[in-house]
Amino acid sequence: MDGHRCGARRILALEAAFQKCPNPDETQVANLSRETGLTPQQIKYWFQTRRAQIKGSSSNMRPPTQGSSSSDP
């Protein structure tokens, strides 16, 4: 069994698809399923988890505060 190489290819395919469309429709899920050998449910779960990771990492970034302007009178 060649899990690591096959797994890496799957991840690359999923990441590439995610960059194009983070919310794939049923047709895109079916195409990814055929391409990766994963079930449609596994594809949906991967995308759901990936979106949550992105959301979690972006919530750690703080926007600049309004009062920190260098043009104080």
Q: Is the pLDDT of residue 1 over 50?
A: no
Q: What is the pTM of this model?
A: 0.71
Q: How many H-runs (helices) and E-runs (strands) does the chain carry?
A: 3, 0
Does the residue 66 lie in any domain?
Answer: no
Average pLDDT score, the chain:
85
- Whether 50 is covered by a domain: the verdict is yes
The one-letter amino acid at 24:
P
For residue 58, name the pLDDT band (cuts at 50, 70, 90).
Answer: confident
Number of structural domains (the chain) is: 1
In a domain, residue 62? The reply is no
Residue 22 lies in a domain: yes
For 26-38, the pLDDT digits (tens) are 999 999 999 999 9
Q: Is the Cβ–Cβ distance between 11 and 35 less than 8 Å?
A: no
- CATH of residue 34's domain is 1.10.10.60
Host domain of residue 24: 3-56
Residue 39 domain flag:
yes
